[in-house]
Amino acid sequence: MTEEQGKAWSGRFSEPVSDLVKRYTASVFFDRRMALQDIRGSLAHARMLARQAIISATDLAAIEQGMARIKSEIEQDVFVWSLDDEDVHLNIEKRLTALVGDAGKRLHTGRSRNDQVATDIRLWLRDMLDTIDRLLGDYILALLALAEQHAGTALPGFTHLQVAQPVTFGHHLLAYVEMARRDRSRIRDCRARMNRLPLGAAALAGTTFPIDRESVARELGFDGVCENSLDAVSDRDFAIEFTAAAALIMVHVSRFAEELILWMSPRVGFIDIADRFCTGSSIMPQKKNPDVPELARGKSGRVIGHLTGLLVLMKGQPLAYNKDNQEDKEPLFDTVDTLTDTLRIFADMVPGITVKPEAMAAALKQGYATATDLADYLVKKGLPFRDAHEAVARAVRAAELKGCDLSDLSLAELRAFSALIGDDIFDVLTVAGSLAARDHIGGTAPAQVRAAIARVRATL
Ligand code: ARG
């Protein structure tokens, strides 16, 4: 048998491909990651073929026996993968035929690698989505625990990175919890839309055999079948949608990472991160660098890149399957790897954050964080908000000239800006008063933060 006759499509060809073309067109060294899904899909297909009397019970038994052997060879890492057989599907099919003969050659009846690969990716990604869902849950729990410890710890909230108003650290962390909860629901939405069976589409048009797609869908845990065979083999929107959701998760994590880096800078000093997530410098002995958050911020770039890559991969493709689609796997796999590692490490790192409430309190002494509270106070005494805003602006300028906080001005000094100010003002100008006053759902009052934590916990 010549080399080309060993190929699944050999009879048509008059010369073998070069080694370079073989390597260029092969995917086995990355798509073997879907080997167990490929076997699962093949077994479900073979059982359906036997139920429909398209293959014999004897052939099915041989296929099942051969696949069990192949599965254990793969699990024990003794399966011999060959570039000559291009991809995971042909490698497994060839081994099956070597093990069980003609029954192995009958497995591909009524099927194509086009619907086979589309099925494998969905099975593989579905498992990964379940893992990611769980990891997001762990990350949310870690954030909630830290938020609960610091439901009453005050720090400056920023807009434009300028001190704005006091917030609690717990409240600040809950912002990331909300992002992660939406991220989780996006992953679930993606799973629901993706969970349809492509098998039965065959190469593109369906098959002439009397197949039963619904039973295959049930066996493989799909909620139904893809309704259009051309679409089933050619679209990868589920992979794009997942990567978009993953990019957004990475963007959210990256924002948090950026804050951790900033907070850990000695110039800010709001937190410390456990040593095991940091590294030193080879030249500067004093350094402790927040490598893990920095890498998470950096790795968000590669996932965003994968999203762009997949969108561009799809945009010019005519129906139906094109080999371009083989390029979907590496970005998809790397997205999953990057995302799962990042979520695992963040769920681990959050409990390793030490909060420094004194540094946060000291920062609140700068920047007039309670200026809005003074304005609100004047409004409650009857002054129109715009006039109150102006009066407080003048008070801030006076305090700035004196080099003190608003609360350090005397009642007489404050009254120079508005006669409406009374001695009840000093409660308003404290950080605790400012926090407690924002006492509504979504507000930063410690009681509201605790209630919000309880509400999230009840949904988990
Ligand atoms: N390795 C291919 C992929 O990943 C499998 C499908 C190949 N189909 C084909 N007609 N060449 O897309």
* pLDDT tens digits for range 391-425: 999 999 999 999 999 999 999 999 999 999 999 99
Instruction: Give the pLDDT of residue 1.
Output: 40
* Position 4 confidence tier, pLDDT thresholds 50, 70, 90: very low
> Distance, CA 58 to ligand 1 centroid (Å)?
29
CA-closest candidate to residue 345, choices 272, 273, 296: 296
The confidence score (pLDDT) of residue 3 equals: 45
Phi first, then psi, for residue 228 (nearest 5°) are: -130, 125
Of residues 225 and 4, the one with the higher pLDDT is: 225
pLDDT more than 90, % of the chain: 95
Q: Is the pLDDT of residue 382 over 70?
A: yes
The per-residue pLDDT for 9 is: 65
The span from the CA of 256 to the CA of 249, in Å, is 11
Beta pairing, strands 224-225 & 196-197: parallel
Interatomic CA distance for residues 305 and 335, integer angstroms: 10
Amino acid symbol at 455: R
The count of other CB atoms within 10 Å of the CB of residue 155 is 27
**pLDDT mean over 314-332:** 98
| pLDDT score, position 159 | 97
Q: Say what the pTM is.
A: 0.95
CA distance 248 to 238: 15
Q: Which of 10-14, 56-60, 74-78, 209-213 has the lowest mean pLDDT?
A: 10-14
Task: Please classify residue 132 by burial: count the beta carbons closer than 10 Å to its beta carbon, then call 0-12 exposed, 13-18 middle and 19+ buried.
Answer: buried
**pLDDT-wise least confident of 43-57, 121-135, 269-283:** 269-283
**323 CB less than 6 Å from ligand 1?**
yes
Residue 38 CA to ligand 1 centre (angstroms) = 13
Distance of alpha carbon 90 from alpha carbon 104, whole angstroms: 11
Ligand 1 probe mutation, 17, 230, 323, 333, most atoms within 8 A of CB: 323
Q: Catalytic positions, please? A: 160, 281
Residue range 209-221: average pLDDT?
A: 98
Listed in sequence order, the DSSP H helices in 80-157 are 88-100, 102-106, 113-149
Judge contact between 356 and 272, C-beta under 8 A.
yes
Instruction: Tell me how far apart the 2 most distant CA atoms of the chain are, in Å.
Output: 104
Give 121-171 pLDDT, tens digit per residue.
Answer: 999 999 999 999 999 999 999 999 999 999 999 999 999 999 999 999 999
Domains of the chain plus CATH, in order, are 4-109 (1.10.275.10), 114-361 (1.20.200.10), 367-459 (1.10.40.30)
DSSP-derived pairing of the beta strands 196-197 and 162-168: unpaired
User: Cβ(305)–Cβ(338) under 8 Å?
Assistant: no
Cα–Cα distance list, 176 to 45, 138, 164, 169, 453 (Å): 44, 13, 19, 11, 12
Considering only CA atoms, which residue is closest to atom 12 of ligand 1?
A: 326
Closest CA to 167 of 346, 367, 350, 354: 367
Query: Which tokens hold the place of 316?
Result: 């010019």
Strand, helix or coil at 354? Answer: strand
Output the average pLDDT for the chain.
96
